[in-house]
Amino acid sequence: MANEVDLTVAQIGLVDPLKARVKTYLAGEEITKGELVAMNTTGVIHPASGAAADYKAQQIVGVSLNAGNTGAAIDVCEDGELYGFTVSGLNCGALLYAHDTAGRISSAIGTVTAYVGRVTALTDKGTTNVIRIQTIFSEALVT
């Protein structure tokens, strides 16, 4: 599937930590910094996917802010703006979705519709665009 939003792992970070909502979850498998993650029915997180109508699309909780193996504590941005994603070619306000590739974000709807946020501008709007993650469960559910 095309439209995958590229990222630079070393640059993933919160634009304004005081205005972001971050929660810590336990990893159910290896998680990479910058991956879109979903919580399963036992409460652990896995890379999220827009490929199938299962918990990986229905229970998206946010973007991982650190990496870890199974059982590791992973900080997840549930609501906030993030650096590190290549969105310069997208318009401000463009919606973002779970990509069919687990853990990735897309500028187009995957096999199922799992909305995760939008592109937004910083104060230097002509120069820096970032992503705003908004994974409120009512919005992240598959439609």
By CB neighbour count within 10 A (0-12 exposed, 13-18 middle, 19+ buried), where does 17 fall?
exposed
Q: Which tens digit of pLDDT belongs to each residue from 81-107?
A: 999 999 988 999 999 999 999 999 999
Q: What is the pLDDT, as a whole number, of residue 54?
A: 66
Q: What is the pLDDT, as a whole number, of residue 138?
A: 42
Domain locations along the chain: 9-140
The total number of residues written for the chain in this structure = 143
CB 87 within 8 A of CB 119: yes
What number is the average pLDDT over the span 100-120? 91
Q: Which tens digit of pLDDT belongs to each residue from 36-87?
A: 999 988 899 999 988 876 666 668 999 999 999 999 999 999 999 999 999 9
Q: How confident is the model at residue 140 (pLDDT cuts 50, 70, 90)?
A: very low
Could you identify the residue written with the tokens 């609501």?
79
Give bridge partners of residue 62 from the DSSP assignment.
37
Q: What is the pLDDT, as a whole number, of residue 125?
A: 60
Nearest CA-CA partner of 135 in 52, 47, 37: 37
Distance of CA 28 to the CA centre of its chain: 17
Reported pTM = 0.90
Give the tokens for residue 27.
Answer: 């990893």
